[in-house]
Amino acid sequence: MRSSDITSQGWVLVVEDEPGLAEVVGRYLVQAGLRYEHLDDGHDVMPRLKQDLPDLVLLDLMLPGRDGLDLCREIRQMYSVPIIMMTARSDEIDRLLGLELGADDYICKPFSPRELVARVKAVLRRTQHLSKPGQTEDLSSQDERLTVGPLMLDSAQFRVEVQGRILDLTPREFQLLKVLMRHPGRVFSRAQLLDLVCHDELDVSDRLIDSHVKNLRKKLASGWPDAELVQAVYGMGYRLQLPA
């Protein structure tokens, strides 16, 4: 394990078993003002994440110990930390970004370190405001159209469909679903959801989110009765989870 020691804006966990590549990647991250820590064995990743979470995980696909796909799935089930996969196998890309594994981005080997750092920064920009209290994700975009599994959300028309069936949602439920659909599989705490969806309400408590979720679930179940699309994650919050 090797750490850079520059205090800076964020840190990246680099999981890569080729020492030369890890070193080059680390050097470029430091140049970009990021700290990094390097692990070369898949078995060490979950124990390290338990200590404290990085701002991003750069995860190699083929690793000794545990392979990257398996790790990606487990990390995504437990944490909302963004993941970029590094892979030489372009046939895996759809799965990597799909709902099952839920990586935020990928980069194909061989890559230029400059390109990698650009991807890292882009993902950090996209995700960092979610983890920082007081900053909210912009939910006001008017022309956004999202399709996730059986769900379709159209901001311009204020319209949500589940399997083609139109749902009658309140503005809160609509915003809540929009946040979850933007980041399928990612767990949001009640505090984060309150911040994003109910920031202009005076009487806010965790129960407020629970009641919005409860009503949203009831409406989703009218078009998709087989599985709970919005799942509670015990002790953590909620996420959008589609059946495999």
- Interaction site with Ca ion (CB under 5 A): 17, 60, 62
**Closest approach of Ca ion to the CB of residue 71, in Å:** 12
Pull the structure tokens for residue 92: 């895996």
Q: Cβ 102 to Ca ion, closest distance in Å?
A: 21
Helices (H), the chain: 19-31, 45-51, 68-78, 93-97, 113-131, 171-182, 190-197, 206-223
Minimum gap (Å) between residue 210 Cβ and Ca ion: 43
Residues 166-195 as b/e (b if ≥16 CB within 10 A, e otherwise) read ebebeebbbbbbbbbbbbbbbbbbbebbbb
Q: Please, which residue, 65 or 149, has the CB nearer to Ca ion? A: 65
Among residues 42 and 237, whose Cβ is nearest to Ca ion?
A: 42
- Nearest approach, Cβ of 46 to Ca ion (angstroms)? 18
Structure tokens at 241: 């989870």
Of 15 and 229, which CB lies nearer to Ca ion in the complex structure?
15
Picking from 223, 97, 95, 206, the residue whose alpha carbon sits closest to that of residue 150 is 223
Residue 60 or 104 having the CB closest to Ca ion: 60
Nearest distance from C-beta of residue 109 to Ca ion, angstroms = 8
Residue whose token pair is 């993902």: 123
Kindly state the smallest distance separating residue 15's Cβ from Ca ion, in Å: 9
Q: What is the DSSP string of 110-141?
A: S--HHHHHHHHHHHHHHHHHHHSTT-------
Q: Which is nearer to Ca ion, 36 or 174 (CB)?
A: 36
Which residue number is nearest to Ca ion in terms of Cβ?
Answer: 62
Given the complex with Ca ion, which of 38 and 212 has the nearer CB atom?
38
Closest to Ca ion by CB, 87 or 192: 87
Q: How far apart (Å, rounded) are the C-alpha atoms in residues 55 and 67?
A: 21
Residue 171 corresponds to which tokens in the numbers above? 């503005």
User: Distances in Å between the alpha carbon of 196 and those of 133, 170, 225, 235?
Assistant: 10, 15, 27, 19
Q: Closest approach of Cβ 97 to Ca ion, in Å?
A: 19
Q: Which two tokens stand for residue 111?
A: 């890559």
